[in-house]
């Protein structure tokens, strides 16, 4: 994910809930609205001095309301620090009210240049060296497509070579979903306040927020636990929220105590997917890993990873029911295909999982087959299965379109869990998790990077989930842990060699490393987990 100046809070809120916290701070904690505005401006200037210490000139794009008020305060405080500042307003100052009007007067009093935004010609004019643009136009209150001068201002800012600091939320971005209202500011850094808006960490948001920074404006901790405070519906998870929950492996362990994962998939020409899932399970600590695939893949599997037990469906001695009795965790889907071969393996696998009451991970092509036969399979949904769709697969499961899924990923993950049960993962930037244990809570993983947009990443993730299940973690916990470990491993790899060219199997050494360390207060020590 994008870098941050400080650890982000775990609790994420809808924008209306953040507004409630704002009002509660004013009404019950004796902090004025203007004081909050002044603190927000000071936090932005602190971020500017830290990120762009040579900044000599600010151009503030100011809208109406409190977001525009923040902009006027920033301009005023910058002028006091010796940074020249000008404000291009999109709402006439005489129409401002309350704290925003007071902020405007503060900028006037210190001699900041204030004039209307005329047109997009700003983008074409030369600007002074060390200029920073400040987006203080629309904030969190936007609920419709951007129009009028705001469109031109957004385009002007995006066309300009100078970096942009967004105040609270990049203008035009839906703070609840992470998707733009058509046009949105692409910021180099976003400074958000009071609480993290849930949409800033998922979907398309990372294309617009840049580095996400947070400041609580000095509000007391009691605010967030007050009886009238809203309850967050989303929890951010990362590597530090999961490591430490993994128990060390007992000294007298043997492979039979570490579970037996069976990976089922790999139709003709698709042998790589189950191989990657199986190898990831081995590297994540599963005691035994078997693969059921087309017989033609045997030579390649064993050449790559002789520790695997390979069973070919065309072998004379192939007896699927007997093999299934050995497994403690089933993985069905990697490279499975959408033909009769895959359909039959899915049917038998789910029957076996129900009969044995063992966890099953349904991934990739198996999700499409599940959706294709939803009338039959929804009736057998169970709390112990795990579904891991990307937006396209989620769309098929929900009879929607991928674009509709992305428009509101939070609504989509809730619908997935409600319709299909178990633990559900909606992959993508800011992956979302919902489970049967706490169906009202959504987890958002803030690990990972754009280098993960490559073939096989999902197969490796599936293998990690399966291994954690095999070693005794409950489905909901195994899913959360695996997603964070997988994302952190990708971040570690990208930190060494960059994002471009990252392969799914590059993650395996880092995954193994992460499963063998714990983190406490920034220190690492070996756990002996695998």
- Within-domain flag for 456: no
pTM: 0.94
262 lies in the same domain as 181: no
Q: Which pLDDT value is given to residue 517?
A: 81
Q: In the beta sheet, which residues pair with residue 292?
A: 264, 311
218 lies in the same domain as 80: yes
CA angle 425, 185, 194 (to 5 degrees): 65
As a whole number of angstroms, the distance between CA 245 and CA 186 comes to 38
224 lies in the same domain as 112: yes
CATH code for the domain of 211 = 3.40.50.10260
Number of Cβ within a 10 Å radius of residue 163: 16
- Within-domain flag for 18: yes
Whether the predicted pLDDT of 278 surpasses 50? yes
Whether the predicted pLDDT of 207 surpasses 80? yes
- Within-domain flag for 528: no
Give the total number of structural domains in the chain. 2
CATH code for the domain of 304 = 3.40.1190.20
How does pLDDT run across 229-267, given as a tens digit for each residue? Answer: 999 989 999 998 887 767 788 787 778 889 999 999 999
Q: Which pLDDT value is given to residue 375?
A: 83
Contact between 262 and 292 (Cβ < 8 Å)? yes
Q: Which pLDDT value is given to residue 234?
A: 97
Pair of tokens at residue 40: 């927000």
Can you give the residue range of the structural domain that contains 436?
Answer: 240-247+254-448+462-522
- Within-domain flag for 206: yes
171 lies in the same domain as 283: no
Whether the predicted pLDDT of 14 surpasses 50? yes
Contact between 465 and 515 (Cβ < 8 Å)? no
The terminus-to-terminus CA distance of the chain in angstroms comes to 27
- Within-domain flag for 527: no
Whether the predicted pLDDT of 6 surpasses 60? no
Average pLDDT (502-513) is: 97
How does pLDDT run across 458-487, given as a tens digit for each residue? Answer: 999 999 999 999 999 999 999 999 999 999
Whether the predicted pLDDT of 418 surpasses 60? yes
79 lies in the same domain as 210: yes
Average pLDDT (205-215) is: 96
pLDDT band at 413 (very low <50, low <70, confident <90, very high): very high
268 lies in the same domain as 301: yes
How does pLDDT run across 59-92, given as a tens digit for each residue? Answer: 999 999 999 999 999 999 999 999 999 999 999 9
259 lies in the same domain as 222: no
pLDDT, greater one: 520 or 14: 14
262 lies in the same domain as 210: no
pLDDT band at 489 (very low <50, low <70, confident <90, very high): very high
% of the chain beyond a pLDDT of 70:
94
Q: Which pLDDT value is given to residue 529?
A: 37
267 lies in the same domain as 369: yes
Strand duo 11-13 + 196-197: pairing: parallel
As a whole number of angstroms, the distance between CA 300 and CA 486 comes to 25
How does pLDDT run across 294-313, given as a tens digit for each residue? Answer: 999 999 999 999 999 999 99
Average pLDDT (32-49) is: 96
Contact between 116 and 87 (Cβ < 8 Å)? no
- Within-domain flag for 259: yes
Residue 384 sits at φ, ψ, to 5 deg, of -90, 0
pLDDT band at 2 (very low <50, low <70, confident <90, very high): very low
Q: Which pLDDT value is given to residue 309?
A: 96
200 lies in the same domain as 326: no
Whether the predicted pLDDT of 526 surpasses 60? no
Q: Which pLDDT value is given to residue 119?
A: 62
Contact between 449 and 428 (Cβ < 8 Å)? no
Contact between 297 and 271 (Cβ < 8 Å)? yes
How does pLDDT run across 128-158, given as a tens digit for each residue? Answer: 778 999 999 998 877 788 888 999 999 999 9
- Within-domain flag for 2: no
Across 107-111, 158-162, 406-410, 468-472, least confident range: 158-162
Beta strands (DSSP E) in 104-215 are 113-116, 131-136, 164-167, 189-193, 196-197, 211-215
DSSP H/E element including 410: helix 409-420
215 lies in the same domain as 275: no
| Alpha-carbon dihedral angle through residues 141, 146, 147, 151, given to the nearest 10 degrees | 120
Contact between 21 and 224 (Cβ < 8 Å)? yes
- Within-domain flag for 309: yes
Across 123-137, 216-230, 372-386, least confident range: 123-137
- Of 435, 375, 371, whose CA–CA distance to 402 is shortest? 371
76 lies in the same domain as 197: yes
């Amino acid at each position: 994910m994008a870098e941050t100046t400080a650890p982000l809070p775990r609790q994420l809120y809808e924008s209306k809930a953040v507004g409630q916290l704002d009002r509660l701070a004013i009404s019950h904690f004796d902090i004025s609205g203007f004081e909050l505005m002044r603190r927000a401006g000071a936090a932005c200037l602190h971020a500017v001095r830290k990120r762009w210490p040579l900044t000599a000139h600010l151009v503030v794009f100011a809208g109406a309301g409190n977001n525009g008020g923040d902009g006027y305060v920033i301009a005023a405080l910058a002028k006091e620090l010796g940074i020249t500042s000008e404000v291009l307003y999109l709402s006439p100052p005489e129409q401002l009210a309350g704290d925003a009007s007071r902020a405007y007067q503060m900028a006037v009093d210190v001699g900041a240049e204030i004039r209307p935004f005329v047109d997009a010609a700003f983008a074409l004019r030369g600007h002074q060296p060390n200029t920073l643009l400040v987006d203080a136009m629309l904030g969190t209150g936007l609920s419709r497509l951007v129009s009028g001068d705001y469109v031109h201002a957004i385009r002007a800012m995006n066309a300009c070579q100078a970096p942009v600091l967004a105040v609270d939320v990049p203008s035009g971005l839906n703070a609840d979903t992470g998707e733009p209202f058509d046009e949105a500011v692409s910021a180099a850094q976003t400074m958000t306040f009071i609480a993290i808006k849930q949409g800033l960490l998922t979907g398309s948001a990372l294309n617009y927020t840049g580095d996400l920074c947070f400041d609580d404006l000095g509000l007391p901790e009691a605010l967030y636990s007050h009886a009238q405070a809203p309850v967050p519906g989303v929890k951010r998870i990362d590597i530090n929220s999961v490591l430490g929950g993994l128990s060390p492996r007992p000294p007298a362990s043997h492979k039979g105590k570490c579970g037996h994962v069976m990976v089922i998939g790999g139709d003709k020409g698709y042998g790589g997917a189950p191989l990657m899932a199986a190898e990831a399970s081995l590297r994540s600590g599963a005691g035994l890993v078997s693969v059921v695939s087309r017989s033609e893949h045997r030579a390649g599997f064993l050449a790559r990873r002789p520790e695997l037990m390979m069973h070919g469906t065309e072998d004379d001695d192939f007896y699927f029911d007997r093999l299934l009795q050995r497994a403690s965790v089933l993985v069905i889907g990697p490279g499975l295909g959408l033909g009769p071969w895959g359909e039959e393996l899915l049917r038998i696998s789910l029957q076996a999982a129900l009969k044995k009451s063992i966890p099953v991970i349904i991934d990739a092509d198996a999700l499409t087959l599940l959706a294709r036969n939803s009338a039959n399979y929804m009736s057998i949904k169970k709390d112990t299965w795990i579904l891991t769709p990307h937006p396209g697969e989620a769309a098929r499961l929900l009879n929607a379109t991928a674009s509709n899924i992305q428009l509101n990923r939070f609504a989509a993950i809730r619908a997935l869990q409600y319709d299909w049960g178990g633990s559900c993962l909606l992959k993508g930037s800011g992956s979302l998790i919902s489970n049967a244990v706490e169906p009202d809570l959504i987890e958002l993983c803030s690990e990972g990077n754009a280098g993960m947009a490559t073939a096989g990443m999902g197969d490796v993730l599936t293998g990690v989930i399966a291994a954690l299940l095999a070693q005794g973690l409950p489905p909901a916990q195994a899913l959360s842990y695996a997603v964070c470990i997988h994302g952190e491993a990708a971040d570690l790899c990208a930190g060494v060699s960059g994002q471009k060219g990252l392969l799914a199997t590059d993650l395996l050494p880092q995954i193994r490393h992460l499963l063998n360390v714990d983190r406490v207060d920034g220190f690492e020590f070996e756990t002996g987990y695998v």
